[in-house]
């Protein structure tokens, strides 16, 4: 007996909210803001059984022959099969930082400006839930070897939570002194969790070739095997290195590209104009890119310095400068966080170099990047495509959104080079370097998770060949080790967009509007719908 696909999506979202209530808060799904995920010994088996039942129902569901339903069914199958496979091959229950991340962002999701209306009631309930949630961790963590870096990340997050409890929460407008006993109990349970962490330095964080191939094929919708993707990335890494050298010689024959890029850090706004510089380039990109893609001009983005409550914790947590607004309760605008100046003003200004403000903040995350992408996704015909790219505690809600979420944002940054005068010649070198780093990340993601490289070999490659800033290497590589298939999606997504544009031809605006209109879906699946809708010759 068939059932409507919409009813099955309703039931899947209810299931997801039960096992991922923090994700649900970030999505704007009501009803779970007071809870943390189940972590008892039987939680994985309950989750597996529920997922298997949903997959069986999907096999028999009625899927209408419309773009929205076709994509909805694919998105649902990808979410279900990924979640089920992960329980066997890469369970979050065996990752120490899953526990600390859920605790941290279970609270932070209720403290952000996008907080749900129930935040004042939900926050003490989530504080009270922390000890029981952490009590379930030892059963799962002692069942498998844990890489030392995973435990180290969890310990950093425990320390950040300590600062949140002691310094941050009392500064938040929601804070109530009556919550102090809940904070103390939560702090004690985190201390016990940290003391109980064991790690195995020889444990290699490799998910395996078969599981990675599954993620690439069935979740990302990519047309390449891991070996084919490596060949593409190796060719691009070499080619982009050659282009960097050629372009640098054209700009200034006396300086290598590395030196020219280093000089960009000395070009920055004044200390009192950082926020205004973010806003100015964001607004200019919105205006000047309008012939290339329809920008989200009607949805506001406000650039503000981190609020005092957040400043003690942002360094050791996945605290994004721009976080996608909750799709179901987006309101009329969102916040873009700017770091507060520290004691070293010169170092702060170097981190706010104009090239970084323009490419990373104003375009990749703002203007026509994630800002426009998220706004367009909220209007997609598939409900799951509206929600899939939501930034949650550790990453996006559904991995299948990754190639469009990051592929588009990276491509949009390059697209602005088609606007005369937006970038300086030196800043175009930074575009090439960013593309080269993303190609390098494909190699690192695949070689780490197929077991060809150790985590330290991956780090050496990032430092010595890919040119990643040393301060970013540990965090980037550790996060990638925890989340296989998440770093390859940047470059491979961008490559798919370039190939689609070359295939379709014509003016870019109709193509890109159509692409973003399908929401947070694998580029390959959106491309299929674009081809189906194209006039027949």
pLDDT of residue 415: 98
pLDDT per residue over 24-62, tens digit each? 999 999 999 999 999 999 999 999 999 999 999 999 999
pLDDT of residue 235: 98
The tokens of 166 are what?
């002691």
Residue 267: closest CA among 352, 200, 381 = 352
Higher pLDDT, 200 or 11: 11
The CA distance from 364 to 367, in Å, is: 8
What is each CA distance from 467 to 241, 435, 464, in whole angstroms? 11, 12, 6
Residue 202 pLDDT more than 90?
Answer: no
Average pLDDT score, the chain:
96
Residues 6+ apart with CB under 8 A from 400: 75, 78, 79, 82, 219, 220, 221, 388, 521, 522
pLDDT of residue 203: 86
- How large a percentage of the chain has pLDDT more than 90? 94
The tokens of 516 are what?
């973003």
The CA distance from 401 to 262, in Å, is: 34
pTM score, whole prediction? 0.96
Residue 72 pLDDT more than 90?
Answer: yes
Residue 369: closest CA among 425, 286, 442, 490 = 286
Residue 537 pLDDT more than 70?
Answer: no
The confidence band for 144, taking pLDDT boundaries of 50, 70 and 90, is: confident
The CA distance from 321 to 315, in Å, is: 11
Residues 6+ apart with CB under 8 A from 97: 150, 153, 154, 157, 394, 482
Answer for the pair 388, 379: CB distance below 8 angstroms, yes or no: no
Residue 32: closest CA among 48, 14, 51, 53 = 14
Residue 199 pLDDT more than 80?
Answer: no
Long-range contacts of 61-70 (CB under 8 A, 24+ apart): 61/2, 61/3, 61/4, 61/5, 61/8, 62/2, 62/3, 62/4, 62/5, 63/5, 64/5, 66/381, 67/381, 67/518, 67/529, 67/532, 67/533, 68/380, 68/381, 68/382, 69/5, 69/382, 70/529
Cβ count near 144 (within 10 Å): 12
pLDDT per residue over 368-378, tens digit each? 999 999 999 99
| CB neighbour class for 272 (10 Å; exposed up to 12, middle 13-18, buried from 19) | exposed
Answer for the pair 523, 223: CB distance below 8 angstroms, yes or no: no
pLDDT per residue over 409-456, tens digit each? 999 999 999 999 999 999 999 999 999 999 999 999 999 999 999 999
pLDDT per residue over 326-350, tens digit each? 999 999 999 999 999 988 999 999 9
Residue 173 pLDDT more than 70?
Answer: yes
Give the containing element (helix H, strand E) for 489: helix 488-504
DSSP 3-state assignment of 226? Answer: helix
Cβ count near 208 (within 10 Å): 14
pLDDT of residue 327: 95
pLDDT of residue 535: 80
Average pLDDT for 457-473? 94
Residue 36: closest CA among 90, 94, 110 = 110
Residue 198 pLDDT more than 70?
Answer: yes
What is each CA distance from 33 to 17, 86, 518, in whole angstroms? 9, 25, 28
Residue 322: closest CA among 281, 361, 267, 282 = 361
pLDDT of residue 201: 67
What is each CA distance from 202 to 98, 113, 121, in whole angstroms? 21, 42, 44
The CA distance from 516 to 493, in Å, is: 13
């Amino acid at each position: 007996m068939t059932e409507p696909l919409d009813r099955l999506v309703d039931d899947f979202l209810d299931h997801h909210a039960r096992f991922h209530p923090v994700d649900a808060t970030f999505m704007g799904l009501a009803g779970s803001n007071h809870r943390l995920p189940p972590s008892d010994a039987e939680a994985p088996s309950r989750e597996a059984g529920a997922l298997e039942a949903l997959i069986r129902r999907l096999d028999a569901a009625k899927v209408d022959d419309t773009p929205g339903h076709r994509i909805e069914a694919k998105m649902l199958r990808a979410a279900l099969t990924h979640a089920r496979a992960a329980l066997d091959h890469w369970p979050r229950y065996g990752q120490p930082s899953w526990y600390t991340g859920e605790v941290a962002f279970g609270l932070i999701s209720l403290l952000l400006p996008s907080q749900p209306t129930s935040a004042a009631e939900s926050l003490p309930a989530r504080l009270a839930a922390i000890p029981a949630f952490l009590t379930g961790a030892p059963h799962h963590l002692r069942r498998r070897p844990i890489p030392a870096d995973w435990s180290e990340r969890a310990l950093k997050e425990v320390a950040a939570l300590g600062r949140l409890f002691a310094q941050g929460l009392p500064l938040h407008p929601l804070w109530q002194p009556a919550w102090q006993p809940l904070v103390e109990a939560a702090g004690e349970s985190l201390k016990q969790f940290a003391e109980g962490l064991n790690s195995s330095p020889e444990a290699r964080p490799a998910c395996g070739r078969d599981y990675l191939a599954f993620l690439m094929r069935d979740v990302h919708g990519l047309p390449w095997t891991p070996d084919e993707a490596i060949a593409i990335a190796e060719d691009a890494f070499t080619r982009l290195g050659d282009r960097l050298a050629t372009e640098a010689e054209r700009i200034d024959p006396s300086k290598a590209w590395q030196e020219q890029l280093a000089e960009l850090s000395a070009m920055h706004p004044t200390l009192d104009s950082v926020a205004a510089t973010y806003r100015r380039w964001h607004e200019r990109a919105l205006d000047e890119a309008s012939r290339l893609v329809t920008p989200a001009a009607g949805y506001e983005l406000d650039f503000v310095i981190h609020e005092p409550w957040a400043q003690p914790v942002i360094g050791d947590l996945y605290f994004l400068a721009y976080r996608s607004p909750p799709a179901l309760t987006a309101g009329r605008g969102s916040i873009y966080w700017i770091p507060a100046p520290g004691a070293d003003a010169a170092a702060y200004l170097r981190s706010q170099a104009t090239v970084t403000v323009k490419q990373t903040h104003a375009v990749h995350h703002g203007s026509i990047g994630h800002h426009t992408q998220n706004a367009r996704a909220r209007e997609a015909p598939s409900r799951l495509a509206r929600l899939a790219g939501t930034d949650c505690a550790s990453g996006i809600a559904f991995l299948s959104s990754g190639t469009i979420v990051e592929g588009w944002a990276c491509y949009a940054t390059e697209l602005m080079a088609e606007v005369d005068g937006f970038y300086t010649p030196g800043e175009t070198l930074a575009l090439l370097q960013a593309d080269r780093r993303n190609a390098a990340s494909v190699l690192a993601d695949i070689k780490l998770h197929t077991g060809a490289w150790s985590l330290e070999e991956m780090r050496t490659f990032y430092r010595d060949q890919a040119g990643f800033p040393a301060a970013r290497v540990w965090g980037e590589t550790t996060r990638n080790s925890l989340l296989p298939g998440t770093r390859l999606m940047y470059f491979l997504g961008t490559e798919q967009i370039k190939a689609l544009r070359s295939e379709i031809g014509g003016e870019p605006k109709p193509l890109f509007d159509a692409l973003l209109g399908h929401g947070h879906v694998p580029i390959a699946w959106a491309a299929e719908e674009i081809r189906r809708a194209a006039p027949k010759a």
